[in-house]
Structure 1
């Protein structure tokens, strides 16, 4: 009996470290838009969504899905825009030289009315890795820096070096965290591709391919983000956005590369805590 009890205890402890899909919580599909260029990421504001694909950004009406403007940075040497976020009329895009080494990164800034490129903040050879996503919360920048496995690794650093960094508005680092081990395993061999803060103070992150979102939060102590749960979603990893113009709901914009679609879904069920 003692051996059975001990075995049961070990099984319970082992399962507690495995990320579980939350029963009763999912990203319910609300709408899809057919967009040929939906390969990297999507950003969103009150009236439009913005499809980001390496060197281009295309602006679409949220209601009709009509293309209304576009920007092409090929002639400016832009090769790998990863994701973006709209804040007070400006679109901030994560820009990197992936898969080149050494990793270099910058934030590219656009006016969403004119779709003109209006600014840049360069990290140069980024201390933390390859910039994949950016968001702002409570007057601070939160930025995801990726590392990769295999031939895409840099200076012997693999996916475990993937980092979330907090900056003030003058780009001075404040804090940094790593991702939980089991989430790193799900990211591998690629990395953390997307991230966005929900109004519920939950950080929603994605990998490169999986049809799911990881709910995380800042830990009360230590240096590892706290895993809450895994939420199935109608996406295939990559850059995501939370529509903050919709109050009282968590509306997720993402992309499905295989189907060339932008997806709109609502994360329903028990709020992560």
Structure 2
């Protein structure tokens, strides 16, 4: 068949269109875990922690205590910014709210553990860790030990010669002395960069979950049988963009996180 000039002009476009439609489409992101509760809290800027009845909203230098059943704020604490420049995450241990704190974004990086009374939010004491392998961003109690994340950054708050790859999970004894430490998997570090790990919490069934600073994702990690790099088990989509997290001690499938842009505490139901 003799092709007319018009067909000659049209056919390449048709061929290109056929090739374009033949390209595989990018797989859609999985739906985030369902949200079961939202509470408004002006302190919800760094993270949240729960004792089952109350939820504690964490900011750099202030904490708000809210009744889960009603959303009512029942206590508030405000610290001096000079002394509390950056509290990032907390967890409830007994009658104490235990918080990871640092001097971020100042360098050299220093860190401390701050203790508060859960009833009144009165500040009880400080354990100063001084210089460490990074900036303390997360702390949890599991298997009779403290589990701490020391974050490192590829930009603001990072120290020369150390970037996100130097982020470390450290198991500590009751005196906050290092017992063991692990690095994070490369595929998770790539998701963290240029920031780092912001949240870490052990679930009731003994699984470790961590979050970054800006992605709506949570990663289940496992301590390896050998070696020094944590193993990625699964990635869970969540409704909030990173920051510190905490598992509810009463409802094992309830995860607490924050939406800092909306000053909101979010409860999500996570499938096992």
**TM-score, structure 2 length as denominator?**
0.86
Change (3 A) 1:75 1:28: closer
Q: Is the 8 A contact 2:43 2:63 kept in 1?
A: no
Are 1:266 and 2:272 matched, yes or no? no
Distance 2:102 2:139 in 1: 12
Give the unaligned 5+ runs of structure 1.
Answer: 1-19
Query: 1:72-83 alignment to 2 at 5 Å?
Result: 72-74=78-80, 77-83=83-89
Name the SS of the counterpart of 1:160 in structure 2: helix
Structure of higher RCO (CA pairs closer than 8 Å, 6+ residues apart): 1
Please tell me whether residue 157 in structure 1 is matched to residue 162 in structure 2: yes
Taking a change above 3 Å as real, the CA distance of residues 121 and 22 of structure 1, as seen in their structure-2 partners, is farther
Distance 2:28 2:61 in 1: 35
Is it true that 1:168 corresponds to 2:167 in the alignment?
A: no
CA contact (8 A) 2:258 2:265 kept: yes
Instruction: State the match for 2:21 in structure 1.
Output: none
Q: SS in structure 1 opposite 2:187?
A: helix
2:197 match: secondary structure: coil
- 1:56 and 2:59 correspond: no
Q: Residues 195-249 of structure 1: CA distance to partner in whole angstroms, max 9, x if unpaired? A: 1001122111000011111111111111111101110001111111001122xx3
Does the alignment pair 1:90 with 2:96?
Answer: yes
Whether the 8 Å CA contact 1:208–1:236 is kept in 2: the answer is yes
- In 1, the alpha carbon distance for the partners of 2:263 and 2:155 equals 28
How far has the Cα of 1:133 moved from its partner?
0.6
Show CA shifts across 1:35-54 (max 9, x none).
22311110100210000100
- Is the contact between residue 32 and residue 262 of structure 1 (CA under 8 Å) also seen in structure 2? yes
Runs of 4+ in 1 over 4 A off after TM superposition: 20-23
Within the candidate set 235, 239, 259, 1:256 is matched to 259
Matched, 1:70 2:76: yes
The TM-score normalised by the length of structure 1 is: 0.86
Larger radius of gyration: 2
Unaligned runs of 5+ in 2: 1-26
Q: Which residue does the alignment assign to 1:4?
A: none
Q: Please give the alpha-carbon distance, in whole angstroms, between the structure 1 residues aligned to 2:156 and 2:99.
A: 26
The correspondence of residues 20-169 of structure 1 with structure 2, limited to 5 A, is 27-74=33-80, 77-126=83-132, 128-169=133-174
Q: Deviation string for 1:24-64 (max 9, x for gaps)?
A: x9522101012223111101002100001000011000111
**Could you give the per-residue CA deviations for residues 162-186 of structure 1, whole angstroms, max 9, x where no partner exists?**
0000011122211000000010010
Q: Secondary structure at the match of 2:244?
A: coil
CA contact 2:145–2:174 (8 Å) conserved in 1: yes
Given that 1:45 and 1:86 are in contact with CA atoms closer than 8 Å, whether structure 2 keeps it comes out as yes
Tell me how large the CA RMSD over aligned residues is: 1.8
